């Protein structure tokens, strides 16, 4: 399988806005999706698990609480977190301001399509 390299300059990408978050799609491939998510303290993804892909995060700014089966883990910029298939996880920011993460799904497993269905696109 071959394809073209993906290059997304700073400030570009497929931007999707919610009242409490902005999700910018940087890569949308069957084997990997990459999004930047900037979110307020009112935004929370509750505990869940996936049986078909890895859900990984790299914290860029702010504090993030990953909601694990045995309790929350609070981390800061530079932290990498990965939930393999079957691992219970969720996330939120305790604030006071926004947090920003790089979120990777391998394979994509429909994540980008869900973002497109549930947010307003702003390119």
Per-residue pLDDT at 1 exceeds 60: no
- Whether 9 maps to a domain, the answer reads no
Give the mean pLDDT of 92-110: 94
Q: Is residue 2 situated within a structural domain? A: no
Predicted structure pTM score: 0.91
Tell me what pLDDT residue 4 has: 87
Residue burial 78-87, b: 16+ Cβ < 10 Å; e: rest: ebebebeeee
The pLDDT of residue 123 is above 60: no
| pLDDT above 60: residue 105 | yes
Q: Residue 62 domain-assigned? A: yes
The DSSP secondary-structure symbol of 111 reads: H
Residue 123 is assigned to a structural domain of this protein: no
Mean pLDDT of the chain: 93
pLDDT tens, residue by residue, 12-67: 999 999 999 999 999 999 999 999 999 999 999 999 999 999 999 999 999 999 99
Q: Is the peptide bond before 117 cis (omega within 30 degrees of 0)?
A: no
Residue 7 lies in a domain: no
H helix or E strand, kind and range, residue 82 = strand 80-83
Residue in the block written with tokens 């409490």: 20
The CATH number of residue 57's host domain is: 2.60.120.10
- Look at the chain and report how many structural domains it folds into: 1
Full domain range(s) for residue 43: 14-116
Instruction: Say if 100 falls within a structural domain.
Output: yes
């Amino acid at each position: 399988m071959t394809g073209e390299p993906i290059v997304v300059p700073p400030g570009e990408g497929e931007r999707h806005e919610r009242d409490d978050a902005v999700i910018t799609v940087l890569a949308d491939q069957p084997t990997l999706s990459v999004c930047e998510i900037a979110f307020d303290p009112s935004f929370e993804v509750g505990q869940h698990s996936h049986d078909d892909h890895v859900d990984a995060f790299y914290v860029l700014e702010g504090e993030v609480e990953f909601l694990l089966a045995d309790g929350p883990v609070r981390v800061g910029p530079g932290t990498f977190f990965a939930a393999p298939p079957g691992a219970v996880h969720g996330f939120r920011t305790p604030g006071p301001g926004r947090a920003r993460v790089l979120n990777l799904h391998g394979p994509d497993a429909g994540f980008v399509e869900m973002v497109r269905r549930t947010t307003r696109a702003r390119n």
